[in-house]
Amino acid sequence: MARRITLDFLKTEAASGMILAAAALAAILLANSPWSQHYFSFISRELTIQVGAFNETHSVTDWVKQGLMAIFFFVVGMEIKFEILRGELSNPRRLALPVLAAIGGMAAPAAVYLLLNMGPGGAPQGWPTATATDIAFALAALAIVGRQLPPSLRVFLLTLAIADDLAAVVLIALLFTAKVNLLALGGAASTLALMFLLGRWKTAPYFFYACCFALIWAFTLKSGVNTSLAGVAAAMAVPIEPRRAGQAGVLHYFMESLHGYVAFLILPLFAFTAAGFSFSGLSLKELFSPVALGVALGLFLGKQLGVFGAAALAMGLKLARRPTGAKWIELYGVAVLCGVGFTMSLFIGALAFSPSDVAGQTEVRIGVIVGTLMSTALGMGVLAWSQARRNLEQG
């Protein structure tokens, strides 16, 4: 069961990466076309949602970021829980390499970014932007060029990206929560406790879980805490055990039900609303600003150095073993693909810079897109070359 869930996840993520790329490209083309006014008008249009005492007005971009992306983090949280209890993260020997690589893959990009942003004109607060890995994009790139590479490389990348996502959620909680409404936060905590109790009722209707999640999200939105935490916290309350012997678990049911919507609708919609920026008025100053360079080089250089360096050190110290059947050059290629930050980097970058800081937001988008493109090109090139060598060796 664990292996089947992991393989289904890999297939879905790899396929959705293509749609993500198309959505991002469409956003950039529209933002620089005769219809740019309609694009920017759409993503900035304010919408009001009112249900009883709940009344919130936000732009389309904010509703996607604070609303729909909470469902994305709900699915990510369930994937993390599954991997910790039943999957790759449950085996300490298999866990050591990707987790240590993930730590290196966050520390090195942060160092590269800060190195370029500690002086005049820099923006040190943006360092978390360069630390993220986009699971969908990275797995899609690996799937295109690495169909015959060892499956252990895919599992290594998936596990590393999940550990990376968990660390990203912690960073969001620690760094991007300003004023907190304690009453609303208490409401979220109380509803979360109710959701944990609901897990003891083996025949509880799935609709009850959905209602609890919606309440936790609403309270969290009112509290001032980022709603990504609501998604992950609610995921921890979903029971992994099946209702009856021989059935799939409740957690598996929600993962399977929601994953397609997240991969093929929510993430592409986020990419469409977050990636678009206008080239009009851009100068070399913005293109080579400390923020843009810090994010781009953090993703491209920092990620590969951190991931590959930490992995090599862990194996050299006998703390972990190389993925079964994988060559050093292939491990390096996967390390480069970890610099594909896109969705998570755009999400964190949007939090690190105020919406009113148009220049900062634009420079973040430039850095994320350039860093992601360079990492994708080099990573796919290295893995394609390794695949070609394997084919020659096999005759």
Q: How far apart are CA 168 and CA 160, in angstroms?
A: 12
Other CB atoms within a 10 A radius of the CB of residue 378 amount to 17
The pLDDT mean for the chain works out to 85
Asked if the model's pLDDT at residue 8 lies above 70, the reply is no
Whether 374 contacts 339, CB under 8 Å: yes
Distances from the Cα of 39 to the Cαs of 35, 50, 133, 195, 249, in angstroms?
A: 7, 25, 27, 39, 42
The whole-number pLDDT of residue 15 equals 62
Q: Residue range 125-130: average pLDDT? A: 92
Asked if the model's pLDDT at residue 11 lies above 70, the reply is no
**Nearest partner of 167 among 105, 115, 111, judged by Cα:** 105
Per-residue model confidence as pLDDT tens digits over 178-201: 678 889 989 999 999 999 999 888
Buried b (16+ CB within 10 A) or exposed e, 203-226: ebeeeebeebbbbbbbbbbbbebb
More confident call, 359 vs 135:
359
More confident call, 92 vs 118:
118
Spell out the domains of the chain, with CATH numbers in brackets: 2-176+226-393 (1.20.1530.10)
Per-residue model confidence as pLDDT tens digits over 304-329: 999 999 999 999 998 888 888 888 99
Q: Residue range 270-294: average pLDDT? A: 82
DSSP per-residue codes, 15-66: HHHHHHHHHHHHHHHHHTSTTHHHHHHHHH-EEEEEETTEEEEEEHHHHIII
Side-chain half-sphere CA neighbours of 149 within 13 A: 31
- Token pair 């599954």 is found at 82
Q: How far apart are CA 254 and CA 153, in angstroms?
A: 27
Q: How far apart are CA 291 and CA 356, in angstroms?
A: 16
More confident call, 127 vs 96:
127
* The model's pTM: 0.78
Percent of the chain scoring above 70 in pLDDT: 92
Percent of the chain scoring above 90 in pLDDT: 34
The one-letter amino acid code at 363 reads E
Distances from the Cα of 200 to the Cαs of 169, 230, 242, 246, 368, in angstroms?
A: 27, 21, 12, 18, 43
Whether 137 contacts 22, CB under 8 Å: no
Q: How far apart are CA 140 and CA 357, in angstroms?
A: 32
Whether 149 contacts 330, CB under 8 Å: yes
The whole-number pLDDT of residue 217 equals 94
The whole-number pLDDT of residue 259 equals 83
Cβ neighbours of residue 226 under 8 Å, at least 6 residues apart? 66, 172, 173, 176, 177, 220, 351
- Token pair 């970058």 is found at 349
Q: How far apart are CA 272 and CA 343, in angstroms?
A: 10
Cβ neighbours of residue 219 under 8 Å, at least 6 residues apart? 184, 185, 187, 188, 191, 230
More confident call, 16 vs 335:
335
Asked if the model's pLDDT at residue 124 lies above 80, the reply is yes
Ranges of H-type helices in the chain: 2-31, 36-44, 60-63, 69-85, 92-117, 135-145, 151-175, 182-198, 206-223, 227-236, 250-261, 267-274, 284-287, 290-297, 303-316, 328-337, 342-352, 358-393
**Nearest partner of 83 among 199, 5, 170, judged by Cα:** 5
The whole-number pLDDT of residue 3 equals 46
